[in-house]
Every structure is written in C-alpha cells, then in structure tokens.
Amino acid sequence: MKSYTLIHREDSAPQFFSPAVGYFKAVLPSGALAEENQIVGHLQILNQTFALRMPEGPCGRIEWTHTNPSHEPVGYGQSLGTWSPASLQGEDEGAAEATAEKGSAYKAPMEGLFYCRPDPESDAFVTEGQVLQPGDQVGLIEVMKTFYPIFFEGTKPQTVQSIKVKDAQAVEMGTTLLVLS
C-alpha cells in the first residue's frame, strides 16, 4: 500500500494536516500513542487507499479533530488533529517497557484471507527470526478471488519475533500479522 506522511509545521501548534484531498479514516483512536512513521490513518483518493504515517520526530498522543473520523472528507492542508509529546517517565514508562517486550505490530492493510505462502507447496514468505528488509513480501491477501501482495513498508530492517496469523486466516484491516523488533 502506498503511503503519505502527515504534514507537520514546526511554526504552529503540535498539529498535523492532510497531505492531499480525499476521505480520511483514523486507524488509531484519540488518546493513542503514535511513533514516528507509524500508520495512524488511511486516505481514500479516487478509490485508492493510501496509508497515512506520522512524521519523523518524537512519539506522542493523538487527538483527532473529529470525534469519530471514519470517513471524513478532507482538503489539502486541513487539520486532522493534534499530538502531544509523550513523556517516557512515570506512568508511560511501564507502557514503554511493555512495548519493548512485545515488539511492534505489523498490521493488515485490508480485510480478506491472509496467505503466508504463494501456494500450498511453497515455503512461507516470512519465518520467525527472519530479518525483514523494506519492500520484502510478507504475504498475500485475497479479496473476491483477487490476490494482493503485502509488502513490509518499514523504513529500516526489523526481525520477525512471531507470526500471529495462520495460512488462509480471515483478517480485518488492522489485524496484527507479525510482531517485529
């Protein structure tokens, strides 16, 4: 899935803005902690869906402008929400440790049937302990008899800690496929 990075202006309050005209849908709820380059929403433009990633910088908590952003029309540069830098001290320290223990989740970009291998006789696309490079294929998702390749869209190599789905398992958008470290 192609992606856009949310626009963040250094001279303004900690806000982020739509990078294009389309229909916005949040992936993370208000109050969720978001890290740099994490997918936080989707933007539908002319029947194509693009992932929206957080800009580079420190992590923070997201507060969406709309209370239930599920299919909001947005214009270029329109404010989608704000973020407040998260302190990794005190109460957030436990959450940071839990995240470090669990790793980061690589989630399904669409709903359908997830396949771990290209065909029943072939090896799996990924195995536990494998180091994924940006652009590596991690599986296929079948939607209405059409197979869509799913690629690792990270910005740096990561190791597969565990695989959370089985071959031919039904998944929804946002279902955790892999845990990476």
Query: What does the pLDDT read at residue 129?
Result: 92
Domain that holds residue 86: 3-100
For the chain, what percent of residues have pLDDT higher than 70? 81
CA 181 – CA 177 distance, rounded (Å) = 14
Domain end, chosen from 59, 75, 100, is at: 100
pTM check: above 0.85: no
pLDDT digits (tens, 9 = 90+) for 63-113: 888 766 677 888 888 888 887 766 443 344 444 444 444 568 888 888 889
CATH number at residue 112: 2.40.50.100
- All residue ranges of the chain with pLDDT < 70 are 1, 4, 7-13, 57-59, 67-69, 85-103
Buried b (16+ CB within 10 A) or exposed e, 62-85: bebbeeebeebebeeeeebbbbee
Query: What does the pLDDT read at residue 97?
Result: 40
Measured torsion, CA atoms of residues 26, 150, 99, 166, in degrees rounded to the nearest 10: 110
Task: State whether 9 and 90 are in the same domain.
Answer: yes
